[in-house]
Structure 1
Amino acid sequence: MKGKATYGVVLGALIAGTSGVIIKSIDSIDATSIAWFRTAVPTAIVFAWMLLNGVKPFRGNYRKMMVGALINSLRIYLYLIAFIYTSIGNAVILFYTWPIMVALLGFLFLGEKVAKYQSFLLVLTFLGIVLAYSDKPFSFESRDFLGMLAALGASFANAATVVLFKSEVENYHSLEMIFYQNVLGVFIFLPFFIMGAGNAEIVDIGLGTLFGFIAGILVFGLFFHGLTYLKAATASTLMYLEVVSAVLFGYLFFNEVLSVHMVLGGLLIMASNLLLIRFDRKKNVPEIKHK
């Protein structure tokens, strides 16, 4: 089961790369309205599933899970601010420090020990991100600095939610984790959606719904399922493959330049992840049984 969980996270990371294509294709809806679709669609789908299966919407340590929902809403907002105020290179490099933060927080709060070899692969994977975007503009001007602070804030918030949900992963179905991740965001981003809904085109509403389904249900469904059986640091490191996927989709759909830096950085990320999967399988860590 652990092997399937690993490949599930990998698949989720590759699917996550389509998000940029969908967002770039939306013209009549602003970023905060897109954030509403991102949280509302998975919340509605999972809530329907909970009703059909007799699962109580709020059970167990739901207060702790709602804290995670609040942090995740903050993460989404800071993530959007980062891409608005600074370059893609700045935002991506700083945001993708979150797997490193997960490893640190997992050690401090979950007691997860990360082997030296695994730590090396984690750092190597991050260096692949830096290499991939090393030819992009990097600035410390006031506007960029605000965006970079937002990216770091989003990174820490993302790491915090992963560790928080990991601490409760044995007590909830992976779909319930999606519900708690998004439910507060529905109400927080609703005013922005209402203000911008008048100018929304039908095709963009469809794309927003598709984005919410792919990012909220498919990607995080696979990630939370993997988190049930894998260490938080392992699952998070595998998510670096999203960057490789995003670069390839940008090249295929928008004719974005595929530079030598991006190719080499992407190869480094892929190689590090393959070595991590091989290491994780050899280590034979006992599986975490889902209740």
Structure 2
Amino acid sequence: MSVILMLIASACFATMAAMIKGIGFSLPIPEIIFFRSILPLPFFLGALWLQKKKLVVTAWKTLLLRAIFGFLAITGFYYTLAHIPLAISVFLGKTQPLILAVLAPWVVGEKTSRSVWFAIGTGLAGIVLILDPSLGWTAAAWASIGAATASAIAHLLVRKLNRTDDPVTIVTNFFIVTALLSSLWMGPSFIMPDRAQWLLLGGVALFSTIGQYLMTLAYRMDYAPVVAAASYASIVFSVLYGYFFWNEVPPVSAWAGGFLILAGSFILLRSRI
């Protein structure tokens, strides 16, 4: 059941990414982040109220850091989606577990084994294959790597937060902070969305919220490596979306690099069992 939930969650995340790519340059990035953060808030606030949980986290300084790095990760990911093919963007995003493994010894004091370093090296080789022939080390490519790095740091900080606070409270506080940050950045550049844009923004909020919820359930029901392996189905969905909506076909070098990134991730997952 956990694998099925994760497959559905992966489809939701791929759909969210496709909708963000569909919005493209028609709305400013901070505005997309703002609506992505504000629209799900009633759901999470209602969950906190029904479960009678506290509204504000205890470790608020760690939460603020988590929100800042999460905000940077979202910004980089959204920028990348507007500039490079959807499947390649998702391939590069899958470097996040490998970057997390590199950072873990310094952020949360986790030891890095020899097999983990081998996995990291395999993933780095995959990045070189994807970026050099197909993207030429463009700004969007670097933004994708930067987003994966920021996401890895944010996930490590979530591990720290989980020691003191409830996951629903953490997510709610994250949405509140990112809504504030994006509103400050948005400023006078706000553009009133038209009907089609409202539908896409609503879809982004809906599918990301459903995906987050199903992913949380999946991780509660089974071993993390099993669930994480199922999450790579998002690549299949992204390739299909890219082909049918934008006629994007990743080059052979991107497939080879993506395979090495996935291989490194699976080696990493095996080392955690």
Write the distance in 1 (CA, Å) between the matches of 2:28 and 2:249.
Answer: 26
The offset of 1:219, in angstroms, is: 3.7
The residue aligned with 1:205 is: 198
Write the distance in 1 (CA, Å) between the matches of 2:247 and 2:53.
Answer: 46
Write the distance in 2 (CA, Å) between the matches of 1:252 and 1:19.
Answer: 16
The offset of 1:246, in angstroms, is: 2.2
The reply on whether 1:251 has 2:243 as its aligned counterpart is yes
Q: Do the aligned residues in 1 keep the contact of 2:73 with 2:146 (CA within 8 Å)? A: yes
User: 1:51 is matched with which residue: 49, 59, 79?
Assistant: 49
User: CA separation of 1:112/1:13 partners in 2, compared to 1, >3 Å: closer, same or farther?
Assistant: farther
The offset of 1:158, in angstroms, is: 1.7
Paired AA for residue 208 in structure 2? A
Q: Do the aligned residues in 1 keep the contact of 2:115 with 2:267 (CA within 8 Å)? A: no
User: CA separation of 1:82/1:127 partners in 2, compared to 1, >3 Å: closer, same or farther?
Assistant: same
User: 2:149 is matched with which residue: 138, 146, 156?
Assistant: 156
The offset of 1:35, in angstroms, is: 1.4
The reply on whether 1:196 has 2:196 as its aligned counterpart is no
Write the distance in 1 (CA, Å) between the matches of 2:78 and 2:135.
Answer: 19
User: 2:167 is matched with which residue: 174, 178, 203?
Assistant: 174
User: 1:18 is matched with which residue: 15, 23, 33?
Assistant: 15
Write the distance in 2 (CA, Å) between the matches of 1:206 and 1:73.
Answer: 23
User: 1:102 is matched with which residue: 95, 100, 103?
Assistant: 100
Query: SS in structure 1 opposite 2:64?
Result: helix
Write the distance in 2 (CA, Å) between the matches of 1:114 and 1:224.
Answer: 28
Query: SS in structure 2 opposite 1:257?
Result: coil
Q: Do the aligned residues in 2 keep the contact of 1:129 with 1:265 (CA within 8 Å)? A: yes
The offset of 1:11, in angstroms, is: 5.6
Q: Do the aligned residues in 2 keep the contact of 1:15 with 1:214 (CA within 8 Å)? A: yes
Q: Do the aligned residues in 2 keep the contact of 1:69 with 1:181 (CA within 8 Å)? A: yes
If the length of structure 2 is used for normalisation, what is the TM-score? 0.74
The offset of 1:78, in angstroms, is: 4.1
If the length of structure 1 is used for normalisation, what is the TM-score? 0.71
1:180-236 Cα shifts (integer Å, max 9, x gaps): 3322111222363874343x11221121121123234514762697499878x9988
Write the distance in 2 (CA, Å) between the matches of 1:214 and 1:205.
Answer: 14
User: 1:77 is matched with which residue: 65, 75, 78?
Assistant: 75
Write the distance in 2 (CA, Å) between the matches of 1:99 and 1:196.
Answer: 35
User: CA separation of 1:216/1:148 partners in 2, compared to 1, >3 Å: closer, same or farther?
Assistant: same
Matching of residues 89-128 of structure 1 within 5 Å: 97-128=95-126
The offset of 1:159, in angstroms, is: 1.9
Write the distance in 2 (CA, Å) between the matches of 1:136 and 1:217.
Answer: 33
Query: SS in structure 2 opposite 1:55?
Result: coil
Write the distance in 1 (CA, Å) between the matches of 2:222 and 2:166.
Answer: 12
Q: For structure 2, list consecutive stretches of 5 or more residues without a partner in the other structure.
A: none
1:146-185 Cα shifts (integer Å, max 9, x gaps): x566545433322221111111224433333322332211
Query: SS in structure 2 opposite 1:136?
Result: helix
Q: Percent identity among equivalent residues? A: 20
The offset of 1:69, in angstroms, is: 1.4
The residue aligned with 1:287 is: none
How many residues matched? Answer: 270
The offset of 1:58, in angstroms, is: 0.6
Write the distance in 2 (CA, Å) between the matches of 1:110 and 1:9.
Answer: 26
Q: For structure 1, list consecutive stretches of 5 or more residues without a partner in the other structure.
A: 284-291
RMSD: 4.0
The residue aligned with 2:66 is: 68
User: CA separation of 1:90/1:256 partners in 2, compared to 1, >3 Å: closer, same or farther?
Assistant: closer
